[in-house]
């Protein structure tokens, strides 16, 4: 009976495991983003905003978006969060930067003069501000034999927004949001990672930025098979 159960389980797992299903709802609004300036004057990343309990995912979120932007387009000057923060500290702007970010949390506005100075220090006209509203992981039991757990559905969801500010004018040039849900069946314990769903959300939103004739890299699309 154990041997029979093992054969049945193997056949079932071979037919079901590994295929991912993704749903998302990306939306974007272009206010005044200049495609040529975006390509030539650089885009950097500010410290992301995160909901309570999600603070540890702020840096991974910025890394996912900056990496995806660099990997997608060959001719964009992308300044990472670490590079922006290093420039801010190097130029003695740490206190002003903190005040600007604290004011944003209260008002939704990035103070124009500090924003301009941060952009100049980082060498990027456009500065992206990400906000992580929610991230969740879970699993549902799908298949078991004789009390032996064989197949689960691993789940993850993310809700994120992205504003791109023009540091030269102090205006929001572009903004987008995405709510993404991903699930796949597997017999392994590995959950859907934060990095995976963050990469997917980044790709969805990057595809909606009007970058004009920017040259795409030849990298293959991200697979949804885990």
What are the pLDDT digits (tens) for 150-188? 567 777 889 999 999 999 999 999 999 999 998 876 655
Decide if pLDDT at 62 tops 90: yes
SS3 156: strand
For residue 135, list its beta bridge partners. Answer: 158
Q: Which is more confidently placed, 13 or 156?
A: 156
Cα–Cα distances in angstroms (integers) from residue 199 to residues 37, 67, 74, 156, 202, in the given order: 25, 9, 17, 13, 5
SS3 29: strand
Q: Lowest mean pLDDT: which of 6-10, 22-26, 50-54?
A: 6-10
Question: Please, what is the average pLDDT of the chain?
Answer: 82
Please report the domains of the chain, with CATH numbers, ordered by start residue.
33-133+163-177+194-206 (3.40.50)
pLDDT recorded at residue 7: 36
Q: How far apart are CA 65 and CA 57, in angstroms?
A: 12
pLDDT recorded at residue 131: 97
The pTM of this model reads 0.80
Cα–Cα distances in angstroms (integers) from residue 224 to residues 124, 141, 202, in the given order: 33, 21, 14
SS3 24: strand
CA 142, 143, 148, 154 torsion-angle sign: negative
Q: How many CB atoms lie within 10 A of CB 5?
A: 13
What are the pLDDT digits (tens) for 74-107? 888 999 999 999 999 999 999 999 999 999 999 9
């Amino acid at each position: 009976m154990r041997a029979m159960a093992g054969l049945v389980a193997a056949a079932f797992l071979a037919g079901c495991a590994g295929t991912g299903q993704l749903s998302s709802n990306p939306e974007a609004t272009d206010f005044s983003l200049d495609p040529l300036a975006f390509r030539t004057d650089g885009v950097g990343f500010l410290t992301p905003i995160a909901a309570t309990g999600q603070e540890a995912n702020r840096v991974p979120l910025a890394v996912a978006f900056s990496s995806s932007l660099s990997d997608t387009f060959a001719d964009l000057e992308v300044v990472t969060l670490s590079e922006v923060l290093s420039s801010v500290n190097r130029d003695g702007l740490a206190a002003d930067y903190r005040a600007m970010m604290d004011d944003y949390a209260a008002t939704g506005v990035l103070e124009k003069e500090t924003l301009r100075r941060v952009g100049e220090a980082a060498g990027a006209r456009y500065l992206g501000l990400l906000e992580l509203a929610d991230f969740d992981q879970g699993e549902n039991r799908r298949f078991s034999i004789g009390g032996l757990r064989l197949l689960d559905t691993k789940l993850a969801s993310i809700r994120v927004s992205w504003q791109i500010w023009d540091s030269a004018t102090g205006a929001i040039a572009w903004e987008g949001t995405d709510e993404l849900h991903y699930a796949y069946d597997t017999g392994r314990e590995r959950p859907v990672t934060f990095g995976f769903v963050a990469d997917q959300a980044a790709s969805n939103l990057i595809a909606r930025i009007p970058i004009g004739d920017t040259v795409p890299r030849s990298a293959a699309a991200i697979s949804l098979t885990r």
